[in-house]
Amino acid sequence: MRGPLSRRADRASASPTLAISSQAKALARNFGDVISLAAGEPDTPTPPHIVQAGIDALHRGATRYLPVAGLPDLRRAIADQSMMLRGWRPEADGEVLVTCGAKHALFHCFQVLLEAGDKVLLSDPAWVSYGPQIRLADGEPVKVASLASEGFYPRVEALEAAYDERCRALIINSPNNPTGLMAQPEQIEAITRWAAERGVWLISDEIYGRITFSDGPKMLSPVQVEGADLDRILVIDGVSKAYAMTGWRIG
Protein backbone atom coordinates (compact mmCIF):
# COMPACT_ATOMS: atom_id res chain seq x y z
CA MET A 1 0.00 0.00 0.00
CA ARG A 2 1.48 3.37 -1.02
CA GLY A 3 -0.96 6.12 -0.14
CA PRO A 4 -0.64 8.05 3.15
CA LEU A 5 -2.37 6.40 6.07
CA SER A 6 -3.73 7.89 9.25
CA ARG A 7 -1.23 8.65 12.01
CA ARG A 8 -3.05 6.03 14.05
CA ALA A 9 -2.43 3.38 11.39
CA ASP A 10 1.20 4.44 11.15
CA ARG A 11 1.55 3.79 14.87
CA ALA A 12 0.45 0.17 14.44
CA SER A 13 3.27 -2.31 14.14
CA ALA A 14 3.17 -5.78 12.61
CA SER A 15 2.62 -8.57 15.16
CA PRO A 16 6.07 -9.69 16.38
CA THR A 17 4.54 -13.08 17.27
CA LEU A 18 3.54 -13.69 13.67
CA ALA A 19 6.92 -12.44 12.42
CA ILE A 20 8.77 -14.89 14.70
CA SER A 21 6.34 -17.68 13.73
CA SER A 22 7.06 -17.28 10.04
CA GLN A 23 10.79 -17.12 10.79
CA ALA A 24 10.46 -20.43 12.68
CA LYS A 25 8.52 -21.96 9.78
CA ALA A 26 11.27 -20.87 7.37
CA LEU A 27 13.91 -22.41 9.67
CA ALA A 28 11.88 -25.62 9.90
CA ARG A 29 11.78 -25.84 6.11
CA ASN A 30 15.58 -25.65 6.01
CA PHE A 31 16.55 -27.53 9.13
CA GLY A 32 13.61 -29.82 9.89
CA ASP A 33 13.22 -30.20 13.61
CA VAL A 34 12.47 -26.69 14.90
CA ILE A 35 10.22 -26.06 17.90
CA SER A 36 8.54 -22.68 17.67
CA LEU A 37 7.75 -20.99 20.96
CA ALA A 38 6.33 -17.94 19.17
CA ALA A 39 2.54 -18.21 18.90
CA GLY A 40 0.66 -19.60 21.91
CA GLU A 41 -0.95 -22.38 19.93
CA PRO A 42 -1.85 -25.79 21.42
CA ASP A 43 -0.26 -28.66 19.49
CA THR A 44 -3.48 -30.69 19.43
CA PRO A 45 -6.35 -30.19 16.97
CA THR A 46 -9.75 -28.84 18.08
CA PRO A 47 -11.55 -31.81 19.73
CA PRO A 48 -13.76 -33.64 17.18
CA HIS A 49 -17.03 -33.14 19.09
CA ILE A 50 -16.47 -29.37 18.95
CA VAL A 51 -15.74 -29.49 15.22
CA GLN A 52 -18.88 -31.58 14.71
CA ALA A 53 -21.02 -29.19 16.74
CA GLY A 54 -19.73 -26.33 14.55
CA ILE A 55 -20.56 -28.23 11.35
CA ASP A 56 -24.04 -29.14 12.67
CA ALA A 57 -24.70 -25.51 13.60
CA LEU A 58 -23.74 -24.33 10.11
CA HIS A 59 -26.04 -26.94 8.56
CA ARG A 60 -28.84 -25.77 10.87
CA GLY A 61 -28.42 -22.30 9.37
CA ALA A 62 -26.34 -20.56 12.05
CA THR A 63 -24.84 -18.35 9.37
CA ARG A 64 -26.72 -15.09 9.97
CA TYR A 65 -26.17 -11.86 11.88
CA LEU A 66 -26.18 -12.35 15.64
CA PRO A 67 -26.93 -10.10 18.59
CA VAL A 68 -24.00 -7.70 18.96
CA ALA A 69 -23.05 -8.96 22.42
CA GLY A 70 -23.16 -12.61 21.30
CA LEU A 71 -25.65 -15.48 21.34
CA PRO A 72 -27.66 -15.50 24.59
CA ASP A 73 -27.00 -19.26 25.07
CA LEU A 74 -23.27 -18.74 24.67
CA ARG A 75 -23.26 -15.82 27.11
CA ARG A 76 -25.10 -17.97 29.65
CA ALA A 77 -22.61 -20.80 29.12
CA ILE A 78 -19.73 -18.35 29.65
CA ALA A 79 -21.33 -17.09 32.88
CA ASP A 80 -21.80 -20.71 34.07
CA GLN A 81 -18.23 -21.56 33.24
CA SER A 82 -16.92 -18.53 35.05
CA MET A 83 -18.87 -19.71 38.09
CA MET A 84 -17.11 -23.08 37.83
CA LEU A 85 -13.66 -21.61 37.30
CA ARG A 86 -13.74 -18.56 39.53
CA GLY A 87 -16.74 -18.99 41.78
CA TRP A 88 -18.03 -15.75 40.25
CA ARG A 89 -21.03 -15.57 37.94
CA PRO A 90 -21.16 -12.44 35.80
CA GLU A 91 -24.61 -11.44 34.57
CA ALA A 92 -24.97 -13.18 31.22
CA ASP A 93 -27.15 -10.37 29.93
CA GLY A 94 -25.13 -7.28 30.77
CA GLU A 95 -21.68 -8.36 31.93
CA VAL A 96 -20.63 -10.91 29.31
CA LEU A 97 -19.57 -9.83 25.84
CA VAL A 98 -18.56 -12.30 23.13
CA THR A 99 -15.77 -11.04 20.89
CA CYS A 100 -13.67 -12.30 17.97
CA GLY A 101 -11.06 -13.71 20.34
CA ALA A 102 -9.44 -12.45 23.53
CA LYS A 103 -7.22 -10.16 21.48
CA HIS A 104 -10.29 -8.42 20.12
CA ALA A 105 -11.72 -8.15 23.66
CA LEU A 106 -8.51 -6.41 24.76
CA PHE A 107 -8.71 -4.08 21.79
CA HIS A 108 -12.23 -3.09 22.89
CA CYS A 109 -11.07 -2.53 26.46
CA PHE A 110 -8.43 -0.02 25.43
CA GLN A 111 -10.73 1.70 22.96
CA VAL A 112 -13.45 2.27 25.55
CA LEU A 113 -11.24 3.05 28.55
CA LEU A 114 -8.50 5.33 27.26
CA GLU A 115 -8.38 9.01 26.44
CA ALA A 116 -5.31 10.31 24.59
CA GLY A 117 -2.30 10.18 26.91
CA ASP A 118 -3.85 7.83 29.47
CA LYS A 119 -1.40 5.30 30.86
CA VAL A 120 -1.77 1.55 31.22
CA LEU A 121 0.56 -0.29 33.59
CA LEU A 122 1.95 -3.64 32.47
CA SER A 123 4.22 -6.14 34.11
CA ASP A 124 7.57 -6.61 32.43
CA PRO A 125 7.95 -8.77 30.36
CA ALA A 126 4.41 -8.72 28.97
CA TRP A 127 2.61 -10.24 25.99
CA VAL A 128 3.76 -8.40 22.86
CA SER A 129 0.30 -7.22 21.74
CA TYR A 130 -0.69 -5.12 24.76
CA GLY A 131 1.65 -2.22 23.94
CA PRO A 132 0.62 -1.74 20.28
CA GLN A 133 -3.08 -2.05 21.17
CA ILE A 134 -2.72 0.59 23.90
CA ARG A 135 -0.91 2.90 21.48
CA LEU A 136 -3.64 2.39 18.86
CA ALA A 137 -6.09 3.72 21.45
CA ASP A 138 -3.80 6.78 21.92
CA GLY A 139 -2.68 5.47 25.31
CA GLU A 140 0.77 4.97 26.74
CA PRO A 141 1.95 1.54 27.93
CA VAL A 142 4.10 1.78 31.06
CA LYS A 143 6.16 -1.24 32.04
CA VAL A 144 6.43 -1.74 35.77
CA ALA A 145 9.65 -3.15 37.15
CA SER A 146 9.34 -6.61 38.67
CA LEU A 147 11.76 -9.29 39.83
CA ALA A 148 12.43 -12.75 38.44
CA SER A 149 12.35 -14.04 42.02
CA GLU A 150 8.77 -12.74 42.27
CA GLY A 151 7.67 -14.35 39.03
CA PHE A 152 7.80 -11.00 37.21
CA TYR A 153 4.60 -9.84 38.92
CA PRO A 154 4.99 -6.29 40.24
CA ARG A 155 4.88 -5.37 43.91
CA VAL A 156 2.52 -2.71 45.14
CA GLU A 157 5.51 -0.42 45.80
CA ALA A 158 6.48 -0.64 42.10
CA LEU A 159 2.90 0.01 41.00
CA GLU A 160 2.75 2.97 43.33
CA ALA A 161 6.05 4.32 41.94
CA ALA A 162 4.70 4.06 38.37
CA TYR A 163 1.31 5.55 39.24
CA ASP A 164 0.25 9.10 38.43
CA GLU A 165 -3.12 10.72 37.72
CA ARG A 166 -2.98 9.68 34.04
CA CYS A 167 -2.86 6.02 35.03
CA ARG A 168 -6.17 4.52 33.96
CA ALA A 169 -5.67 0.76 33.91
CA LEU A 170 -3.40 -2.09 34.90
CA ILE A 171 -3.11 -5.40 33.06
CA ILE A 172 -2.23 -8.63 34.76
CA ASN A 173 -1.83 -11.91 32.95
CA SER A 174 -1.65 -15.02 35.11
CA PRO A 175 -0.71 -17.67 34.02
CA ASN A 176 1.59 -15.49 31.99
CA ASN A 177 2.76 -15.23 28.42
CA PRO A 178 5.77 -15.12 27.96
CA THR A 179 7.04 -16.35 31.34
CA GLY A 180 4.62 -19.26 31.84
CA LEU A 181 4.50 -18.32 35.53
CA MET A 182 1.37 -18.06 37.63
CA ALA A 183 1.06 -15.28 40.21
CA GLN A 184 0.97 -16.31 43.87
CA PRO A 185 -2.43 -15.75 45.52
CA GLU A 186 -0.97 -13.02 47.74
CA GLN A 187 0.36 -11.19 44.67
CA ILE A 188 -3.08 -11.23 43.01
CA GLU A 189 -4.64 -10.08 46.29
CA ALA A 190 -2.20 -7.19 46.72
CA ILE A 191 -2.48 -6.05 43.09
CA THR A 192 -6.28 -6.28 43.14
CA ARG A 193 -6.60 -4.28 46.36
CA TRP A 194 -4.14 -1.67 45.10
CA ALA A 195 -6.19 -1.21 41.89
CA ALA A 196 -9.39 -0.89 43.94
CA GLU A 197 -7.83 1.69 46.27
CA ARG A 198 -6.42 3.71 43.39
CA GLY A 199 -9.61 3.47 41.31
CA VAL A 200 -7.62 2.02 38.43
CA TRP A 201 -9.30 -0.42 36.01
CA LEU A 202 -7.88 -3.91 36.38
CA ILE A 203 -7.75 -5.93 33.18
CA SER A 204 -7.13 -9.57 34.03
CA ASP A 205 -6.08 -11.60 31.00
CA GLU A 206 -6.94 -15.16 32.04
CA ILE A 207 -6.61 -16.80 28.63
CA TYR A 208 -4.16 -19.41 30.03
CA GLY A 209 -6.16 -19.94 33.22
CA ARG A 210 -7.15 -23.49 32.34
CA ILE A 211 -3.68 -24.56 31.24
CA THR A 212 -2.31 -25.53 34.63
CA PHE A 213 -0.87 -28.76 36.03
CA SER A 214 -3.59 -31.07 37.36
CA ASP A 215 -1.69 -31.54 40.63
CA GLY A 216 -0.57 -27.91 40.91
CA PRO A 217 -2.22 -24.73 42.15
CA LYS A 218 -5.17 -23.27 40.24
CA MET A 219 -5.35 -19.74 38.93
CA LEU A 220 -6.70 -17.10 41.28
CA SER A 221 -8.69 -14.37 39.55
CA PRO A 222 -8.94 -10.81 40.93
CA VAL A 223 -12.74 -11.29 40.99
CA GLN A 224 -12.20 -13.83 43.79
CA VAL A 225 -10.32 -11.39 46.01
CA GLU A 226 -12.07 -9.88 49.00
CA GLY A 227 -12.08 -6.12 48.59
CA ALA A 228 -11.97 -6.30 44.76
CA ASP A 229 -13.81 -3.52 42.95
CA LEU A 230 -15.93 -5.67 40.66
CA ASP A 231 -17.18 -2.59 38.82
CA ARG A 232 -13.66 -1.95 37.56
CA ILE A 233 -12.42 -5.42 36.71
CA LEU A 234 -12.47 -6.74 33.16
CA VAL A 235 -11.81 -10.46 32.82
CA ILE A 236 -10.46 -11.52 29.44
CA ASP A 237 -10.80 -15.16 28.44
CA GLY A 238 -11.43 -17.24 25.36
CA VAL A 239 -11.47 -20.69 23.83
CA SER A 240 -8.24 -20.49 21.80
CA LYS A 241 -5.87 -22.06 24.29
CA ALA A 242 -8.14 -24.13 26.53
CA TYR A 243 -9.88 -25.95 23.66
CA ALA A 244 -7.29 -25.65 20.87
CA MET A 245 -9.62 -23.31 18.94
CA THR A 246 -7.21 -20.55 17.93
CA GLY A 247 -8.76 -20.14 14.47
CA TRP A 248 -12.36 -20.06 15.65
CA ARG A 249 -11.93 -16.57 17.11
CA ILE A 250 -14.14 -16.60 20.19
CA GLY A 251 -13.31 -14.55 23.27
Ligand X SMILES: Cc1ncc(COP(=O)(O)O)c(C=O)c1O
Binding residue (CB under 6 A) for ligand X from 113, 207, 220, 223? 207
CA distance 130 to 35: 25
Does 102 bind ligand X (CB under 6 A)? Our answer is yes
Q: Which stretch binds ligand X (CB under 6 A): 98-106, 109-117, 143-151, 164-172?
A: 98-106
Of 171, 205, 222, 235, the one binding ligand X (CB under 6 A) is: 205
**Least distance between ligand X and beta carbon 180 (Å):** 11
Nearest to 224 by CA among 89, 105, 79: 89
Beta carbon nearer to ligand X, 96 or 163: 96
Which position among 82, 96, 119, 127 is part of the footprint of ligand X (CB under 6 A)?
Answer: 127
Do residues 190 and 183 lie in contact, with contact meaning Cβ atoms separated by under 8 Å? no
Per-residue x/- marks for ligand X, 158-187, CB under 6 A?
---------------x---x----------
Please report, as residue ranges, which positions from 57 to 76 form the binding site for ligand X (by CB under 6 A): none
* DSSP, res 191: H
User: For ligand X, which residue of 38, 78, 82, 103 counts as binding (CB under 6 A)?
Assistant: 103
Taking the C-alpha atoms of residue 127 and residue 104, their distance in angstroms, rounded to an integer, is 14
Q: What is the greatest pairwise CA distance in the chain?
A: 56
HSE-CB of 104 using CA atoms within 13 angstroms: 14
- Among 40, 70, 141, 185, contact with ligand X (rule: CB under 6 A): 40
**What is the Cα Rg of the chain in Å?**
19
Q: Which neighbouring-strand residues pair with 171? A: 122, 203
Residues linked to residue 169 through DSSP beta bridges, in sequence order:
120, 201
Contact of 164 with 119, CB cutoff 8 Å: yes
127 versus 201: smaller Cβ distance to ligand X: 127
Binding residue count for ligand X, defined by CB under 6 A: 13
Name residue 236's beta-bridge partners. 205
Stretch that binds ligand X, among 66-74, 95-103, 132-140, 150-158 (CB under 6 A): 95-103
Taking CB under 6 A as the criterion, the residue among 139, 154, 209, 238 binding ligand X is 238
* Of residues 77 and 161, the one with the C-beta less far from ligand X: 77
Nearest in space to 170 (alpha carbons), one of 136, 137, 194, 149: 194
Q: Is 240 a residue that touches ligand X (CB under 6 A)?
A: yes
Rounded CA gap, 142 and 123, in Å?
A: 8
Residue span binding ligand X (CB under 6 A) among the ranges 49-57, 87-95, 144-152, 238-246: 238-246
**Residues found near ligand X in the complex (CB under 6 A):** 40, 101-103, 127, 173, 177, 205, 207, 238, 240, 246, 251
